[in-house]
Chains A and B, each alone.
Chain A
Amino acid sequence: MIRLSHHLTDPLIRSNPVTLQILGICSALAVTTALATALTMAAALIFVLCASAAIISAIRRHIPHAIRLILQITIIATLVIVTDEVLRAYAFEISQRLSIFVGLIVTNCIVLGRAEGFAMHHPVGPSILDALGNALGYGLVLVVVATIRELLGTGRLLGIPMLPLTEQGGWFEPLRLMQLAPSAFFIIGLMIWAIRTARPEQVERPEHRLLSRQGEARP
């Protein structure tokens, strides 16, 4: 088990799908205005990713190579539709707030990426662990971004007032910028910056160098 556990822990921060591979950005900025929607989205993605990895890995030797993408998408879409229907049945309000983004998990690059890149070549056990790790890594980014955005943008967390607002006599003035989509880019960008400062091996090679006045290049 210890031998396999790196599949689970690696994608949490070191090779996080959002901050290292920059995947799943679209939903990461759409559903993170509130923590409740981010948690729901993370749960939906964990289910879809793990289930699709398990199914695809189980039948990987029977999938004809030429039509593997169609099969993967069919399996993923089926799972997404089930998730969407369950959400509509048991958590209608939150499914309304998530609108199309649960349905769009089909096109989330993380899901297809793990299916094609990992589950197609590995047994079921490691595939599920890898899927769970990637989904948790995605969920972690979502939760962090949503916490910052909801807390600073509205002064609340999960709808519960946390900071006293100025309109109610407190000291906190909500930052409306945090409720707008660009702030998710800012926060994710700053997170990537922080992670790459801590792990310099993730930094890409610079495309150009500065020339000093004497003409020699410096980093």
Chain B
Amino acid sequence: MRDGSVTALRKRAARDATALRLIALAPPAVILFLRAPGTAWPHALAVVTAALACALIFAELRGRGPIFEVLVPALLMVLFAPPEAAPWQLALALSLALVLGALVFGGAGFGFLSTGALALALLAFSFPPLAAVVPETPVLWAALPGGALLLLAGLAPWRVVLAGAAGFALATGAGGSGFAQGAPLAVLLVYFAADPFGAPVTGPGQWLSGLMVGGLIALLGAAGGPGFDMSAGVFAVLLAGLFAPLIDAGVIAVADWREGVSHG
């Protein structure tokens, strides 16, 4: 792709971040609806209703704020929640995550965690057997082009994804993981770890945070067996997300200090 069109895409993405993130999630969602309509439709209905209700109440109270942003974590929830979960359980976990993770701080972009990861973690905490799962292979495949679009548009910081993969490979000894490990890892990194609001904003911070996520995924998922442990991944993202503001502050402090040294 020519340089100009990427710049145009990034400009566009900065304006319509929500639309672009929803477009990226649309193909896997469509595949999921086709393959498992029995569980996907009730789940989608419940989470979308809950998410929009929370967002509307807060938009009304505060008199501002994007509303449709909450559909992104809602769709993530539909894709990654275990199929045996009841719709109301998803709705409850998502409402808690949206209110406590984003809306009380002032809405999308003011929180500091990936709300999708928070919702899945709250679901696992509240109803212990319902840990996040790796979606079926066709759904995973369908999620990859959207991930590439997000990376290209700059909505998912590529440093986090690259460093996350490197961290995971380093921590697991770079064993030949193949598609069974690689695709879920890529999807997790792009959609959860490289959250535009949850990931650090400084370049070195993104490298550090990515390495941390990758290492934590390998560390927490080690006991899970041969397959990829999505639940461990979600908790790794959440744990690394807590450190993101600290990492950013550290990077900025170091930059300030170096500036002070060089200019005397």
Complex interface: chain A residues within 8 A of B226 (CB)? none
- Residue pair A177, B122 in contact (C-beta under 8 Å): yes
- Residue pair B89, A180 in contact (C-beta under 8 Å): no
Chain A residue at minimal CB-CB distance from B61: A197
Residue A173 at the chain B interface, CB threshold 8 Å: yes
Chain B residue at minimal CB-CB distance from A178: B126
Chain B residue at minimal CB-CB distance from A175: B126
Residue A193 at the chain B interface, CB threshold 8 Å: yes
Q: A173-B89, A177-B122 are in contact. Are A186 and B127 (CB under 8 A)?
A: no
Residue A6 at the chain B interface, CB threshold 8 Å: no
Residue A88 at the chain B interface, CB threshold 8 Å: no
In the bound assembly, the distance between CA atoms of A99 and B125 in angstroms comes to: 25
Of A177, A189, A193, the residue contacting B126 (CB under 8 A) is A177
Interface size (A, Cβ < 8 Å)?
Answer: 9
In the bound assembly, the distance between CA atoms of A189 and B96 in angstroms comes to: 13
A188 to chain B, nearest CB (A): 12
Q: Which one of B86, B96, B106, B125 has the highest number of Cβ atoms from chain A below 10 Å of its Cβ? A: B125
Interface size (B, Cβ < 8 Å)?
Answer: 12
- Residue pair A176, B128 in contact (C-beta under 8 Å): yes
B11 to chain A, nearest CB (A): 16
- Residue pair B127, A173 in contact (C-beta under 8 Å): yes
Of B100, B104, B127, the residue contacting A176 (CB under 8 A) is B127
B186 to chain A, nearest CB (A): 30
Q: Give a binary string over B53-90; 1 marks a CB under 8 Å from any A CB, 0 the rest.
A: 00000000000000000000000000000000010010
Of B86, B104, B106, B125, the residue contacting A177 (CB under 8 A) is B125
Complex interface: chain B residues within 8 A of A189 (CB)? 100
- Residue pair B89, A176 in contact (C-beta under 8 Å): no
Q: Give a binary string over A172-210; 1 marks a CB under 8 Å from any B CB, 0 the rest.
A: 010111001000001001000100000000000000001
The 4 A-B pairs at the shortest CB distance, nearest first, are namely: A177-B126, A177-B125, A175-B126, A176-B128
Interface of A toward B, CB cutoff 8 Å: 173, 175-177, 180, 186, 189, 193, 210
Q: What are 19 A-B residue pairs whose CB atoms fall within 8 Å in the complex?
A: A173-B86, A173-B89, A173-B127, A175-B92, A175-B126, A175-B127, A176-B125, A176-B126, A176-B127, A176-B128, A177-B122, A177-B125, A177-B126, A180-B125, A186-B96, A186-B100, A189-B100, A193-B104, A210-B106
